[in-house]
Amino acid sequence: MQKTFDIPRELMTGEDLAQPGMLSCQGCGASLAMKLALKGLGERTVIAVPACCWTIIIGVYPYSTLKVPVVHVLFETAAVSASGIRAGLDMRGEEDVVVMAWAGDGGTFDIGIQSLSGVAERNDDILYVCYDNEAYMNTGIQRSGATPMGAWTTTTPSGAVKQEKKKDIEKIMLAHEIPYVATASVAYPDDMIKKFKKARTIKGTKFIHLLSPCPPGWRIDPAMSIKITRMATQAKVFPIYEVENGKYKINVYPEKKIPLKEYFKTQGRFRQMSEDLVKAAQERADRSWESLIRMDGEA
Amino acid sequence: MTMKKRSESAETYELKTWRDFPPMNISMGTMLHNMTGSWRFIKPIYEDKVPACQNACPAGNDIEGWIKLVQKGEYDKAYWHLKREQPFPAILGRICFRFCEASCNRAHLDDFVGINELERFVGDRVELSTPHPDVPEYNGKKLAVIGSGPAGMSAAYYGRLLGFRVTMFEMLPEMGGILRVGIPAYRLPREVVAEEFKGLKNMGIELMPNTSVGKDITLNELRDDYDYIFLATGVHESAKLDLKGEDESDLIMSGLGMLKKVALGEDVDLGKRVAVIGGGNTAIDAARTSVRLGSKVIVIYRRSETEMPAHPAEVEEAREEGVEFRFLAAPENIEINNDGNIERLVCCKMELGPPDESGRRRPVKKEGALFEVETDSILTAIGEIPAFDYLKGIVKTENRVVEVNEGMQVKTADEGGAKIFAGGDIIDMPHTVVHAVAAGKKASIVMDCDRKGTDFSEVFKKIAIGDGRALSFSKYMGWAPVNPVSQNNEKVVDSEKIVYDYFIKASQVDKKVVNADARRGSFDAYGKTFDEDQAQKEAARCMHCGRCTECDNCLIFCPDVSVLVRGEGQFGYAIDYDYCKGCGICFTECPRNAITMIAEEISIQVDDLQ
Amino acid sequence: MKQVIKGNFAVAQGVRLCRVGVISAYPITPQTTIVEELSEICARGELDAKFIKVESEHSAMAAMVGSSTAGVRSFTATSSQGLLLMHEVLHWAAGARLPIVLSNVNRAVGPGWNIWADQTDSVSQRDTGWVQIYCESNQEVLDSVIMSYKLAEKILLPVMLTYDAFFLSHTSEIVDIPDIEDVDEFLPPYRPEFRLDVDNPRTFGGMIGPDCYYEERYVMHKDSLKVLEHYSDVCSEFHDKFGREYDIAEEYRTDDAELIIVTAGTITSVTRIVVDKLREQGKSVGMMKLRMFRPVPVERWLKVLGTVPKVVVVDRNISAGLGGVFANEVQAVLYNSETRPVIYPVVVGLGGRDVTPDDVEGIINYALENDKPKDVPLFWGLKQ
């Protein structure tokens, strides 16, 4: 039997709020992520974009590839600027328009975490999306708090690849007890679209963490970007789950058992990863997965 | 592509002086003017390819094509589509050696697709005698087919579809050759064969049973009367064991001969115990027929089970029916007593040495490791030999085969008269029904090329499927494929090209076989044809390797919004090359390799760079 | 209605009267009571606004970027370090042409920690593109909130109005609070041509290359200059409605003056008294109040100061390595005047040190007595 994606044909053939002509690299996960996110959210959406790849992808003045209102905001302000938009739209009586902050991992894990925490603490009614390509890719591949251990970047160069672990952003967000925290991946588009549809209907702060491949930054063939991203979930280093009002649900149970080593092998950025780091990464992934399974279904 | 190009609605704004600028930085239009297609150096195209099953089929059966029609519930269409490359689904659907299943890519996920059962379902869904929709006017040329086994049937069928006036000669009273008198009825019911012949007759093919070429009519007479002759007289007797005493008893007989007698209703008495020598399909047929005649059977084979040429499924069924197997053993000596009964069969244990020319490990005697097998009769099934008397003086027959060229044509001693072709078990090719069908198809196409004066070898290049083992009759005729997209008949989609992540494990539909105890006592067919539900379930397991199913993966995954649905009742997708950056994700994520990446034509001349 | 209120409360009343839609602020001494009072006003239902209680000044201004782009009147207030933390976003708000109003209570910049009056915080935001207005009384503070929105929304530039820590923020004065109906007539609801609108989707603030950025900044500069002409309309309309007016650069007894002293903030009020006293003594001195600092009313400064022999500029701020910022700006404007006045730059009262009438008198007399400044700048009151 074929596992076709549970996405209605009409949705995919309907009006594309993301138009072609995007200034993204070949095989860009972030471009695909936006296309799919807008399929889930629809036209009554306003987006705040901080400094990130999408600053470029969207196009050059006076043009834009997106057919929804977008405001570019400062690097560290995606969440709170979205809150400001929310307040403004509420004052205009447009409560049904969803406000999405669309930030990269640098803007989320690092420079933007203060204002994101503030927004989450106030439970402001926005959807915060982190499309995570695991480094500062727009500036040319520098390490971020989201860069995995063992990865090469231009600031964790050959011979000194990243020794520190990736921040567990979901735990940070869950500590704020916001109503919805989810991970999603461009390799699982139906799950992803469903989550955006769901997020639309929830009041308060929603946080979606998207794994979004970056062929130049991950040192991979653009054609392989979805396949490798899928492997991240299959190898359980990027589990796909959601936490709704504290209730965990794993959305994708990997069918195959893929050692993390196989996943690392697919990408040039992990070429210098030592056996010790591979082992440590595997242990960490196993631990997280086991604890996730324990949480699954528990209130 | 009929849809309006998106790039035509691109807008650009001229900001010539500072006065044209709005107060703040706002967008005024889309980025459609930015034709990112210019970044591309490789590009995706939709291109259907050859599934591994079709590539493996000697006849080039378009399995994926008709399974797709089955899935749509269009069973009539499926039947006629199937018959384009393999004319006898009801027959082959029961007894085919099924190379297709052995190479089915699905086996890497769970288990192969039950293609044979589905073929049988399609064959049984339609009256076999239904008038063929594609029978043309006669083309003025006459074809004589000698022998009515699968090779002859196939040559007659395709010959007729090509416009030849066809006559089939069969020496036995019943048409069908090996299908009628070789393969036991429990595997292939007589009615099915008879019905297929009704179908052939309805196509306008003249059937001449009880007509032995060489006795009732000579080959030279046929050469005068016909434009083309197809020799398909097959094999009739088993090869000798070459042992002392072999000819001294009636209880040592040819397996094939025994099967023929049973098929024609003659009495056969094998005694309580039967030893079958050999490991091919004939050996298994002989063994299982012996079981049905009430004997206890042992099959003695000189290699191990893995080297056995018989189909593993049939070996398994034989075992279920109580047939014993003795591997790595060969008869050494037969002692016949004065009553003409078998006193003892002495066998020698064997071991496997280095590989022989067939690639299998050669069995070598273990000196002195002799043992006895108690048996009342011995059936030999170590290879079959044809009867070539009718060819004497006209066709050279060395090494027990008729020599043919690449176009299946036979060299004759003298010029003049009909051109002679040959196929099936009398030429040097694997002895399977489907190979015979393929041979008939190939010969017919060559005859048609000859009639038209075209070079068949050039035609072969155009209509060969996959690795070139089979020819596509459909392609020869210019018939449209099931998917109206461009076809690449060379590229084979093997398991490495399948994205298994996109398929869910699902076990084969149970065949509901009658249990072995009941089988032992009857020559009735023991398997049932799939009902519609079963067929749909099994058909749904087809992965449609190399063939677009409009699964939408390319549409969903394109990061550059450059895959468009053709719409308006049209099949498939179109790529908007104005924007496609050539990333190749659609290619990688196509579950079934129905997209190909090709190099972009680069218009830069070397001169320009200097 | 007249009330005795502190400067911070005057600001809060101004915000209420302007029917601001979104407020976002972070507390910092001495601005804090604005945040508190606005919270009270909203809680009492006197103002229908969303108040986003952010975790930093940076976020406060960032929230304004969102709400103002959404086309809603937005307000924030801060002081000192808070303003400095906003710096990045100040540039962004002005570049995005968002008519936000910010009230900054001028406070010294650390270290060490000093919460008292000093204008270094706001003068160091000089190049952000914001309109800057310096106030000397609580009435002026309230009126300036109302005028600022009128100005900002017409020109599409943000306005920062500033006033001295404690001298105004925590000092009570009689303030005439206008009726909200009158303010409504003066300041109609904000209806921008471009805002975040799902029915007319546009992208704001996108990437812009060298071929367009230059023009875009030029347009911003041209529009900033338009503030100057538009200010007089706003001013006279305000006068017609409320009977008060605030000159863009008020002249005080400058007729035939030999010396004009330039001041900003509460020192202006002290200086008025000193000018009166010195005029009585027969000294022809006058004063120019520096109200609008960005855009610089160049023509007006030239007209007032261009023909005077001596100009004293008093700065309660310091740009280390050169001196007071106002003095340098005045000097730059006057450089091309026909008869270049002698400029006496004086730095006073940093970190909230009192500037008394005696100090101002001493400064003026020092300029009158010397043909040329002895020190550039002169640090008046420095412990020698």
Beta-sheet pairing, C172-176 with C2-6:
antiparallel
Q: Which of C242, C274, C291 is the last residue of a domain?
A: C242
Q: In this structure, is residue A3 part of a structural domain?
A: no
Shortest Cα distance, chain C CAs vs residue B18, angstroms:
5
pLDDT at position B604 is 57
Strands (E), B407-548: 419-422, 464-465, 470-471, 487-493
State the amino acid at position C359 in one-letter form: D
Is-contact A162 A147, C-beta < 8 A?
A: yes
B277, B322: one domain: yes
B600, B530: one domain: yes
Q: In this structure, is residue A198 part of a structural domain?
A: yes
Shortest Cα distance, chain C CAs vs residue A116, angstroms:
10
> Count of CB contacts below 8 A, A vs C?
169
User: What sections of B50-149 are H helices per DSSP?
Assistant: 52-56, 63-71, 75-85, 89-95, 99-102, 115-125
CB-count exposure of residue C361 (10 Å: 0-12, 13-18, 19+)? buried
Q: Model confidence over C369-378: pLDDT tens digits?
A: 999 999 999 9
pLDDT greater than 90 at residue C349: yes
* CATH number for position B269: 3.50.50.60
User: Are the Cβ atoms of C88 and A69 closer than 8 angstroms?
Assistant: no
Chain B residues with CB inside 8 Å of A62's CB?
A: 13, 15, 22, 25-29
| DSSP secondary structure letters along B361-426 | EEEEEEEEEEEEE--SEEEE-S-EEE--GGGTTTB-EETTEE-B-TTSBBPBSS--SSEEEE-GGG
| Structural domain of B562 | 35-126+462-610
Q: Model confidence over C218-259: pLDDT tens digits?
A: 999 999 999 999 999 999 999 999 999 999 999 999 999 999
Chain C residues with CB inside 8 Å of A63's CB?
A: 206
Which of C67, C86, C195, C212 has the most A C-beta neighbours within 10 Å, making it the best mutation to test the interface with A? C67
Residue B58 β-bridge partners: none
Comparing C-alpha atoms, which of A62, A64, A61 is closest to residue A21? Answer: A64
| DSSP secondary structure letters along C117-173 | --SHHHHTTGGGS-EEEE-SSHHHHHHHHHHHHHHHHHHT--EEEEEETTTTTT-EE
Is-contact B470 B75, C-beta < 8 A?
A: no
User: Are the Cβ atoms of B31 and A19 closer than 8 angstroms?
Assistant: yes
Query: Across chain B, what does the average pLDDT equal?
Result: 93
Q: In this structure, is residue A172 part of a structural domain?
A: yes
Instruction: Return the structure tokens found at B536.
Output: 């749909």
Beta-sheet pairing, A127-132 with A98-104:
parallel
* CATH number for position A246: 3.40.50.970
* CATH number for position C372: 3.40.50.920
Please tell me the distance from the alpha carbon of residue C265 to that of residue C263, in angstroms, as a whole number.
7
pLDDT greater than 60 at residue C263: yes
User: Are the Cβ atoms of A63 and B36 closer than 8 angstroms?
Assistant: no
C182, C294: one domain: no
User: Are the Cβ atoms of C219 and B18 closer than 8 angstroms?
Assistant: yes
Q: In this structure, is residue B398 part of a structural domain?
A: yes
Q: Model confidence over B20-40: pLDDT tens digits?
A: 999 999 999 999 999 999 999
The count of structural domains within chain C is 2
pLDDT at position B166 is 98
User: Are the Cβ atoms of B506 and A1 closer than 8 angstroms?
Assistant: yes
Q: In this structure, is residue C384 part of a structural domain?
A: no
The H-or-E segment that residue A193 falls in is helix A189-201
Shortest Cα distance, chain A CAs vs residue C106, angstroms:
25
The H-or-E segment that residue B252 falls in is strand B252-254
Rounded mean pLDDT, B136-150: 97
Q: Model confidence over B281-300: pLDDT tens digits?
A: 999 999 999 999 999 999 99
In C, minimum Cα distance to A82 occurs at: C66
C113, C157: one domain: yes
Coil, strand or helix: which one is A184? strand
Q: List the end-to-end C-alpha distance of chain C, in Å, as a whole number.
A: 49
C237, C255: one domain: no
Q: What is the 8-class DSSP label of residue A106?
A: I
C177, C257: one domain: no
Total residues belonging to chain C: 384
Instruction: Return the structure tokens found at B174.
Output: 């019943």
> Which of A48, A97, A124 shows the shortest C-beta gap to C198?
A97
pLDDT at position B359 is 80
Rounded mean pLDDT, B426-452: 96
Please tell me the distance from the alpha carbon of residue B447 to that of residue B16, in angstroms, as a whole number.
74
Q: Model confidence over C303-329: pLDDT tens digits?
A: 999 999 999 999 999 999 999 999 999
C258, C227: one domain: no
User: What sections of chain C are H helices per DSSP?
Assistant: 7-17, 32-43, 57-69, 80-95, 120-123, 138-155, 180-186, 210-242, 267-280, 298-305, 325-334, 357-369
pLDDT tier at B344, thresholds 50, 70, 90: confident
Query: Across chain C, what does the average pLDDT equal?
Result: 97
Q: In this structure, is residue B176 part of a structural domain?
A: yes
Chain A residues with CB inside 8 Å of C53's CB?
A: 122
B252, B228: one domain: no
Q: In this structure, is residue B228 part of a structural domain?
A: yes
Residues 6+ apart with CB under 8 A from B459: B445, B449, B476
State the amino acid at position C7 in one-letter form: G
C201, C177: one domain: yes
Instruction: Return the structure tokens found at B186.
Output: 């429990």
Chain A residues with CB inside 8 Å of C216's CB?
A: 61
Which of B13, B16, B25, B30 has the most C C-beta neighbours within 10 Å, making it the best mutation to test the interface with C? B25
Which of B16, B24, B26 has the most C C-beta neighbours within 10 Å, making it the best mutation to test the interface with C? B24
* CATH number for position C115: 3.40.50.970
Is-contact B115 B543, C-beta < 8 A?
A: no
Cβ atoms within 10 A of the Cβ of A86, count? 30
pLDDT greater than 70 at residue B323: yes
pLDDT at position B1 is 43
pLDDT greater than 50 at residue A299: no
Q: Model confidence over C177-219: pLDDT tens digits?
A: 999 999 999 999 999 999 999 999 999 999 999 999 999 999 9
Report the range of poorest mean pLDDT among A104-118, B368-382, B508-522: B508-522
Q: Which of C207, C242, C277 is the last residue of a domain?
A: C242
> Which of B22, B543, B555 shows the shortest C-beta gap to A12?
B555
pLDDT at position B610 is 47
Cβ atoms within 10 A of the Cβ of B441, count? 30
The count of structural domains within chain A is 1
User: Are the Cβ atoms of B588 and A64 closer than 8 angstroms?
Assistant: no
Please tell me the distance from the alpha carbon of residue C313 to that of residue C333, in angstroms, as a whole number.
13
Chain B residues with CB inside 8 Å of C97's CB?
A: 23-24
Please tell me the distance from the alpha carbon of residue C197 to that of residue C190, in angstroms, as a whole number.
15
| Structural domain of C89 | 2-242
Q: In this structure, is residue C317 part of a structural domain?
A: yes
Rounded mean pLDDT, A61-84: 97
C326, C346: one domain: yes
Q: Does B599 touch chain C (CB under 8 A)?
A: no
> Which of A58, A67, A223 shows the shortest C-beta gap to B588?
A223
Give me the half-sphere count of Cα atoms (radius 13 Å) on the Cβ side of residue C11: 33
Q: What is the 8-class DSSP label of residue B246?
A: G
Q: Does B15 touch chain C (CB under 8 A)?
A: yes
> Which of A84, A94, A118 shows the shortest C-beta gap to C22?
A84
User: Are the Cβ atoms of C89 and A77 closer than 8 angstroms?
Assistant: yes
Is-contact B565 B475, C-beta < 8 A?
A: no
Q: Model confidence over B168-183: pLDDT tens digits?
A: 999 999 999 999 999 9
Query: What residue has token string 């919460």?
Result: C115
Please tell me the distance from the alpha carbon of residue B313 to that of residue B288, in angstroms, as a whole number.
13
Q: Which of B406, B421, B453 is the last residue of a domain?
A: B453
> Which of A59, A88, A118 shows the shortest C-beta gap to C67?
A88
In C, minimum Cα distance to B14 occurs at: C212
| Structural domain of A271 | 9-295
Q: Which of C200, C216, C242 is the last residue of a domain?
A: C242
Which of C194, C207, C211, C216 has the most A C-beta neighbours within 10 Å, making it the best mutation to test the interface with A? C207
Please tell me the distance from the alpha carbon of residue B290 to that of residue B300, in angstroms, as a whole number.
14
User: Are the Cβ atoms of B21 and C204 closer than 8 angstroms?
Assistant: no
Q: What is the 8-class DSSP label of residue C190?
A: P
B256, B339: one domain: yes
Instruction: Return the structure tokens found at A90.
Output: 């509420």
Q: Which of B428, B453, B478 is the last residue of a domain?
A: B453
Angle made by CA atoms B286, B292, B297, in degrees to the nearest 5: 55
Total-model pTM: 0.92
pLDDT tier at B608, thresholds 50, 70, 90: low
B394, B270: one domain: no
User: Are the Cβ atoms of C97 and B24 closer than 8 angstroms?
Assistant: yes
Chain C residues with CB inside 8 Å of B21's CB?
A: 212, 215-216, 219
Residues 6+ apart with CB under 8 A from C193: none
C228, C289: one domain: no
State the amino acid at position C99 in one-letter form: P
Strands (E), A165-272: 180-185, 206-211, 241-244, 247-250
State the amino acid at position B268 in one-letter form: V
pLDDT at position B111 is 95
Q: In this structure, is residue C370 part of a structural domain?
A: yes
CA A161 to chain centre: 23
Chain B residues with CB inside 8 Å of C205's CB?
A: 24-25
In C, minimum Cα distance to A96 occurs at: C198
Please tell me the distance from the alpha carbon of residue B517 to that of residue B317, in angstroms, as a whole number.
11
Rounded mean pLDDT, B301-327: 92
Q: In this structure, is residue C335 part of a structural domain?
A: yes
Shortest Cα distance, chain B CAs vs residue C195, angstroms:
10
User: Are the Cβ atoms of B25 and C95 closer than 8 angstroms?
Assistant: yes
Q: In this structure, is residue A24 part of a structural domain?
A: yes
pLDDT at position A298 is 60
User: Are the Cβ atoms of B30 and A22 closer than 8 angstroms?
Assistant: no
User: Are the Cβ atoms of B27 and C203 closer than 8 angstroms?
Assistant: yes
Q: Which of B348, B363, B384 is the last residue of a domain?
A: B384
pLDDT tier at C285, thresholds 50, 70, 90: very high
Q: In this structure, is residue A253 part of a structural domain?
A: yes
CB-count exposure of residue B120 (10 Å: 0-12, 13-18, 19+)? buried
B427, B559: one domain: no
Is-contact C279 C272, C-beta < 8 A?
A: no
Share of chain A above pLDDT 70, in %: 99
Please tell me the distance from the alpha carbon of residue B515 to that of residue C165, in angstroms, as a whole number.
100
